[in-house]
Structure formats: structure tokens, C-alpha cells
Amino acid sequence: MIELLFWPFMAALVISTIHVYLGLHVVTRGVIFVDLALAQVAAVGATVAFLLGLEPGGIPAYLTALAFTLLGAVLFTLTRDRKTHIPQEAIIGITYVVAAAVMILLLSKAPEGGEHITTLMVGSILFVTPKLVGFTMALYLVIGVILYLFRENFLAASRLYQDPEAMDRYRWWDFLFYATFGFVVTSAVQIVGILLVFSYLIIPAVAGMMFYQTWRARLIFGWILSIAANLLGMAASIWLDIPTGASIVATFGMLLVLLAVARSALTT
């Protein structure tokens, strides 16, 4: 069992490192479903690569999905305009729905379309290769360095996200944030699927915000929660012979409920 879960757990660990941090930004900005929308756009790109016959997990397939995701990043940057009364969350929701519909239409005539949709939704983390884990680790290391070097700008852009006066000053940082977001989401969707990408980003951030006020404490707490959810979810998937991605998502949800109950008990 340890041998079977080693590389899947390493992949989950690598993905958690950046996603928990980005999730704190997403929740602070109040655009909760932007990660789900970008993940779905990445899935459309992955679908196009699949239909073109590109090898799943290969560089050409990754670049195809990334191109679609960066277009989504440009869209979300440009649609944040104080001159319109349309909430950006509406644009994000529309993007998700349309991207999901396009993916279904593209795969409607493909012989293995149903299986591909399932893979994109819940991933195939048990079959991740050391090569893909190594590529993802190298990519996330570069993204991590960028996020660290410009952390103050990214933090300011997120904290002032709802301030119309600050929008023009931080528009470039908005795009850079969504672009780095796009790189990691594109990579993660190929490994863990759309649902687990959302879980890694949002659930640890929400859990950390329940108990702590500082970013550092929330980040550490989120990492601990992600490790626990990965271990428990993967173990349950092996013992119960159930899909691994869905098992981890359900474990995340269960742990969040338990933490919410504990939080409620502590404050009463």
C-alpha cells in the first residue's frame, strides 16, 4: 500500500504547497469560484489536446491547456471594471458554465469521451508518474519563487481587490496573479481533476480562517489539513476500493465539518 501511494501522495503534497497559499488569496478577494472556472477552462484545453491526439501529461498537451487558461486569466483581469455594474462573480460563473458545455460538446462524439470527462472531474492521481511529479514540482518551485519575491504586491492586490480606486494601480498584479494561478491549475487538473483542485484551494483556506487571523498561521494550518485529507482520503480509497479523487474531496468536506463543529464548541 505504501509503495502504491508514494507517488500519488508526493503529487498531492506538491500541489497542496502552492494551492493552499493561492486559496487564501482567492477567499480574501471574494471570488471563490474563479479557481473552478479556470480549472474548467484548463479542462477545455486538455480536451482539445486529447482530440488532437496529444499524449496526456506531455508538454504539448500541457501547453495547449495552458494557452486556454491564460486566455481565461486575461478575461478575468479585463472584466474587473468599476464602470460596469455587473459583478465579476457573474462573469466567472458564466465562464465556468460555458466552458463546461463546450467540453461536453467537444467530447460528445469521441469514443472515450465519457471516460475523459470523468478523468477531468476527479483526476487519476493513483496513476501519476514520477516524471509528471518531477515536472510539477519544478514548475511549482518557479511559481513559488515568483509569489515570494512579489508577495507584498500580491497581498496588496488581494486585500484591496474590492476597492475601485486601487483597481487601476493593481491591474498588472491582477493579471500576474491569474497567470501564475493558470500555470498551477493547468498542471493540477491533469493530475487530480477539477473537483480536487477546487478542494485544495478553498477548503484549507476556509478552515484556516476559522481559527487564525494571520496569513502565516492560516497557511500552516491549511497545509496540515491538506496532508491529513490526502492521507485519509487515499487510504480510504484503497481500503474501500473507491475513486481516489472523490475520496479525498469527501475527506476534505468531512474534516471541514468536524472543524466547524469544534470551532462552534470552542466559542460557546
In total, the chain counts a number of residues equal to: 268
Output the pLDDT for position 165: 66
The pLDDT tens digits for 112-135 are 777 777 777 777 787 888 888 888
141-145: average pLDDT: 90
The pLDDT tens digits for 18-62 are 999 988 888 887 777 787 888 888 888 888 888 888 877 678 888
Output the pLDDT for position 1: 66
**86 compared with 256, residue with greater pLDDT:** 256
How is the chain split into domains, by residue range?
Answer: 2-267
In CATH, 2-267 is 3.40.50.150: no
